[in-house]
Structure 1
Amino acid sequence: MTTDSAWTTTPITAALLRGALDLEHTGRGVLPHRLPARARQQIPDAQLAMAESQPAGVRLAFRTRATAVELDVIASKRVYPGAPPRPDGVYELLVDGRLAGHASAPDGDTLTIDLATGSAQTRPGPVETLRFTDLPGDDKEVEIWLPHDEATQLVALRTDAPVDIPPPSGRKVWLHHGSSISQGSNAATPTGTWPALASALGGVELINLGFGGSALLDPFTARAIRDTPADLISVKIGINLVNLDLMRARAFAPAVDGFLDTIREGHPDTPLLVVSPIHCAIHETTPGPSAPDLDSLREGRLRFVAAGDPAETAAVKLTLGVIRDELARLVGRRAATDPNLHLLNGLALYGEADQAALPLPDALHPDPPTHRLIAERFARLAFADGCPLAASDG
């Protein structure tokens, strides 16, 4: 830890954070959350509690003339026995929107999760100091993007020049909700997730409410979206409902209607884009649940398989094909009286033809080049002039 008295320590408050809906004081630091406290009280499982505390899209933002920045953090490491070790989370420092440095915390709290039983154990770890040096000495906006897949307690921020809160950017705020694909699973860096890349291409400010394994039409998530200021909203619905075999077709459409009704209570006229699932071969015509492929685990690889039976579709079990058809019907019905509601078919972002060139490495999640492909297509289909979430005012 730096002790040079020339350094300035700035308290880490909500005013310094973008993309977080709450900031919890833990006794060791502050923990950004992507769901508010009221919603977290209603979370029914450890998966969502873990996912919402992983700061996808969350970044520290400030103006400074500092040439050096230090950030003390307690990272939360995940270990899956039998699976390959997870890479350390990446912290990226941007200067006026351009990447100027990156760092990782090699140690921290450790969460060991048994994929076979679902049991978990936690071991406390140390504070790590991240250092970014040789920054330009002029006045500039600095952003430090936190890891998209590694919960991080923020302990202290130090700079060799004073820090100011930057003024509003003037860009539209885009709030996006989705699954682990939206959170950024298998992306290499926090600015390399498809929503982060798309927000940069579209010139918008991102709030990423992508929750691994937990885009499940939960009412508390809808209320969080309802109560969060945003200029543009998108919700990506489908894959997690199949992953968990959570509901049948009878429950699906009313649940989507209720989710959208709640959002509309707080955002009656906000452009709202419903995105159906991207192509996922194991669940196109085969229902869930998804399960780890035990043979792959024994070989040290993490891969998923569909544990359902295609014949069960006749019993109105959900597949991705069923969900796309239902969303098209539902959004079409609602759009007759809601002109700001739109549908984007997820196959336009990543379809069957893309599978051959860019296969999903674990059969569920895109790799970094595929995150970029999805981002480029989303920006073109959603943010461009004349599109549902046109980011410009013209």
Structure 2
Amino acid sequence: MSAQHDPVSGPSSTGRAADWTTTPITADLLRGALDLERTEHGLLPHRLPAWARAQCADGQLAMAEAQPSGVRLVFRTRATTVELDTLPTKMDYRGAPPRPDGVYDVLVDGLLSGQTSVAGGNVLTIDMTTGSAETRPGPVGTARFAGLPERDKDVEIWLPHNEITQLVALRTNAPVEPVPDRGRKVWLHHGSSISHGSDAASPTTTWPALAASLGEVELVNLGLGGSALLDPFTARTLRDTPADLISVKIGINLVNADLMRLRAFSPAVHGFLDTIREGHPTTPLLVVSPVLCPIHEDTPGPSAPDFGELGAGRLRFRAAGDPAEKAAGKLTLHVIRDELARIVKQRAAQDANLHYLDGRALYGEADFDELPLPDQLHPDAASHRRMGERFAAQVFAAGGPFGAERS
């Protein structure tokens, strides 16, 4: 890749301007993004392609897919200092204390070597009592990593999983080039906010990122907060994205949104899997049911926010449905798990590469007793680590659904 010397030093750099190299940020330096939108500031990574985004005007989906969970810059360099200018969009909930800035993780040859955050940026303020939202513009900031080893090395900068991040400029004190193909399998995963990262501590500690590291695979994370809804455009995106291993985690958002009844759910699951199989007819495909969520195990949705502790910085959720409505086909997590297990068993008779995992094997009743869901819906950082380790042990290990495909 060609690079040019920056005529001025970076905003937080030291030393002579001529020591700095500015490298254009292009697709061959990015992993985990399916589309790049050019903005007035730089590049905005998307996790859904433009044609898919055009098929849904939902603001929650637009926010979730633009938050770059699993998206990282990857390059090879001898640089000891790296600066990445970005324009983040931070979330703010009216009436609650400010949320912490998103975290950038830097890995050197696969090992975590530093973390930082970017101050400033846009602020998206949401009033959860009315549903209104407004954006206040802010300045570009810089994520700076210094003291990296002075040798040829692979560097990965994982973008905050919970902050929309426009990429403005990449500066280093040595040239940068793309990392050659290391021959790793590509794991394509789709799920809800739990797969997106929910309350994980940093982008490399979401449960899918941890599982991918332990499984020695390249992650493409289509965990979309609030938006794992069996959308046909998501199925077509999975169909069209190159992958060696695919998993889909289905269930919790359908209950959260009270989106459909059992009569619609079962054919929708079949259609979702049919579409994926059009592009990946023999790829190992794992269907994962919901992790334990006590408020919705036997009580249908929708999920409703409980604002009682919002002023103290705690937002909790409750189940607003009626258990008696199960008789009319309303979905609960127990109903969804039973139906997913039945569907996979039925299809696996003709599809030897289709597998099922009960989500409670990742986070179940004993885990809830030890590590309860802080808001009744989302696992905390410790639970993310546990889930990632368990997924790797059960799915990527020898004899697991993905184990035989890693050679």
Q: Aligned equivalents of 2:325 and 2:149: distance in 1?
A: 61
Q: Aligned equivalents of 2:228 and 2:37: distance in 1?
A: 23
SS at structure 2 position matched to 1:15: helix
Q: Aligned equivalents of 1:91 and 1:161: distance in 2?
A: 21
Note if 1:334 corresponds to 2:347: yes
> Which one-letter code corresponds to 1:236 in the other structure?
K
Q: Aligned equivalents of 1:27 and 1:379: distance in 2?
A: 40
Map of 2:163 onto structure 1: 150
Q: Aligned equivalents of 1:85 and 1:392: distance in 2?
A: 44
> Which one-letter code corresponds to 1:173 in the other structure?
V
Q: 1:298 to 1:86 in 2, by over 3 A?
A: closer
The offset of 1:299, in angstroms, is: 4.2
SS at structure 1 position matched to 2:400: coil
Q: Aligned equivalents of 2:131 and 2:343: distance in 1?
A: 35
Map of 1:369 onto structure 2: 382
> Which one-letter code corresponds to 1:274 in the other structure?
V
SS at structure 2 position matched to 1:38: helix
Q: Aligned equivalents of 1:153 and 1:393: distance in 2?
A: 34
CA contact (8 A) 2:79 2:174 kept: yes
Q: Aligned equivalents of 2:404 and 2:25: distance in 1?
A: 30
Q: Aligned equivalents of 2:21 and 2:337: distance in 1?
A: 53
CA contact (8 A) 1:202 1:391 kept: no
75-84 or 174-183, which moves further after superposition? 75-84
The offset of 1:84, in angstroms, is: 3.2
Please, which of 10, 25, 29 is the counterpart of residue 16 of structure 1? 29
The offset of 1:100, in angstroms, is: 1.0
Q: Aligned equivalents of 1:353 and 1:100: distance in 2?
A: 34
Note if 1:126 corresponds to 2:139: yes
77-86 or 242-251, which moves further after superposition? 77-86
Q: 1:119 to 1:339 in 2, by over 3 A?
A: same
> Which one-letter code corresponds to 2:381 in the other structure?
P
Note if 1:77 corresponds to 2:93: no
The offset of 1:16, in angstroms, is: 0.4
| Post-superposition CA distance 1:188-236 (Å, at most 9, x none) | 1000100000001111100000000000000000111100000000000
Q: Aligned equivalents of 1:128 and 1:393: distance in 2?
A: 39
Identity, in percent, stands at 71
Q: Aligned equivalents of 2:216 and 2:308: distance in 1?
A: 44
**What are the ranges of 5 or more consecutive residues in structure 2 without an aligned counterpart?**
1-10
Taking the TM superposition and a 5 Å limit, the aligned residue runs for 1:224-235 are 224-235=237-248
CA contact (8 A) 1:84 1:302 kept: no
> Which one-letter code corresponds to 1:199 in the other structure?
A
Note if 1:164 corresponds to 2:177: yes
Q: 1:138 to 1:186 in 2, by over 3 A?
A: same
**What are the ranges of 5 or more consecutive residues in structure 1 without an aligned counterpart?**
none
Q: Aligned equivalents of 1:298 and 1:292: distance in 2?
A: 13
SS at structure 1 position matched to 2:41: coil
Map of 1:60 onto structure 2: 73
The offset of 1:250, in angstroms, is: 0.3
> Which one-letter code corresponds to 2:34 in the other structure?
L
Map of 1:43 onto structure 2: 56
CA contact (8 A) 1:203 1:391 kept: no
Map of 2:368 onto structure 1: 355
Q: Aligned equivalents of 1:240 and 1:352: distance in 2?
A: 20
Q: 1:95 to 1:291 in 2, by over 3 A?
A: same
Map of 1:237 onto structure 2: 250
> Which one-letter code corresponds to 1:71 in the other structure?
L
Q: Aligned equivalents of 1:336 and 1:306: distance in 2?
A: 36
100-109 or 138-147, which moves further after superposition? 100-109
The offset of 1:301, in angstroms, is: 1.4
Q: Aligned equivalents of 1:184 and 1:269: distance in 2?
A: 29
| Post-superposition CA distance 1:92-125 (Å, at most 9, x none) | 1110001111110121011011111211101111
CA contact (8 A) 2:185 2:406 kept: no
176-185 or 348-357, which moves further after superposition? 348-357
Q: Aligned equivalents of 2:268 and 2:131: distance in 1?
A: 27
Map of 2:323 onto structure 1: 310
Note if 1:86 corresponds to 2:99: yes
> Which one-letter code corresponds to 2:37 in the other structure?
E
Note if 1:256 corresponds to 2:273: no
> Which one-letter code corresponds to 2:282 in the other structure?
D
| Post-superposition CA distance 1:133-184 (Å, at most 9, x none) | 1111100000000000101000000000000111012110000000000000
> Which one-letter code corresponds to 1:372 in the other structure?
R
CA contact (8 A) 2:107 2:155 kept: yes
Map of 1:216 onto structure 2: 229
Map of 2:198 onto structure 1: 185
The offset of 1:83, in angstroms, is: 2.5
Corresponding pairs, count: 394
SS at structure 1 position matched to 2:162: coil
Map of 1:7 onto structure 2: 20
Q: 1:52 to 1:393 in 2, by over 3 A?
A: closer
> Which one-letter code corresponds to 1:17 in the other structure?
L
Q: 1:52 to 1:84 in 2, by over 3 A?
A: same
CA contact (8 A) 1:385 1:392 kept: no
CA contact (8 A) 1:173 1:232 kept: yes
